[in-house]
Amino acid sequence: MAQIPFHSKSPDQVDDLVIETLPKDERLWVPQALNVWFRPLMFNTVTGEWVNLLRVKKSGMLNRHLHPAPVYGYVIKGSWRYLEHDWIAKEGSFVYEPPGEIHTLVVDEDVPEMITMFHVFGALIYMDENGNQTSYDNVHTKIDLARKHFESSGLGADFVNQFIR
Ligand code: FE
């Protein structure tokens, strides 16, 4: 059997990724909605999942959406809740959202800023109050948004590539 050299990297192995999550450079935050930004950490185009930081300031909110696949979250700063649930995710909380979950994320007025890392699989299907789809997000729409923002903010469209595997 062939010996695997210590610290070897397989030729078909993708590059690892180490990112300082809370840098000072404001251009790294991609505007998503009023008072809502995301900071890409990793886009996985093979499995359709992505990891990002979500930042919400001043009682911003994320429109009602359905997750057909799971979401994992970890609250880094502040707190938030879903209109559809009676719990509050606080700093240090771990959150698991099962497939089929429909919710509206809100940050209350007494919270100046919240930052949460979300690991999202599949998609967010945005819907109106009647349950009709209005739009969606998946790993490709997120890459697209980030690419456009990095281009217009001066970092360059290719800046997004470092997050893509
Ligand atoms: Fe969600």
Q: What is the mean pLDDT of residues 100-105?
A: 96
CA of 5 to the centre of ligand 1 (A): 43
| Burial grade of 111 (CB within 10 A; 0-12, 13-18, 19 or more) | buried
* Each residue's pLDDT tens digit, 50-90: 999 999 998 888 899 999 999 999 999 999 999 999 999 99
Report the first-to-last Cα separation within the chain, whole angstroms: 30
Identify the sign of the CA torsion 129, 145, 41, 36: negative
pLDDT for res 2: 67
* pTM, full prediction: 0.93
CA of 2 to the centre of ligand 1 (A): 46
* Each residue's pLDDT tens digit, 32-50: 999 999 999 999 999 999 9
3-state secondary structure of 109: coil
Distance CA 66, CA 101 (A): 6
Given CATH 3.40.250.10, say whether it is the number of domain 26-163.
no
Q: What is the mean pLDDT of residues 119-132?
A: 95
Does the pLDDT of residue 21 top 80, yes or no? Answer: yes
How many helices (H) and strands (E) the chain has is answered by 1, 12
CA of 15 to the centre of ligand 1 (A): 28
Distance CA 35, CA 58 (A): 7
| pLDDT bracket for residue 10 (50, 70, 90) | confident
CA of 151 to the centre of ligand 1 (A): 27
**Residue extents of the structural domains in the chain:** 26-163
The residue with greater pLDDT, 161 or 22, is 161
Q: What are phi and psi of 19, to 5 degrees?
A: -130, 135
Distance CA 85, CA 104 (A): 9
CA of 165 to the centre of ligand 1 (A): 23
Fill in the amino acid letter for 93: S
CA of 119 to the centre of ligand 1 (A): 10
| Burial grade of 132 (CB within 10 A; 0-12, 13-18, 19 or more) | exposed
CA of 62 to the centre of ligand 1 (A): 8
Does the pLDDT of residue 1 top 80, yes or no? Answer: no
CA of 142 to the centre of ligand 1 (A): 14
| pLDDT bracket for residue 23 (50, 70, 90) | confident
- Tokens encoding 118: 């979300």
CA of 140 to the centre of ligand 1 (A): 17
Which of 18-27, 81-90, 95-104, 137-146 is predicted least confidently? 18-27
| pLDDT bracket for residue 5 (50, 70, 90) | low
Q: Do the Cβ atoms of 38 and 157 come closer than 8 Å?
A: no
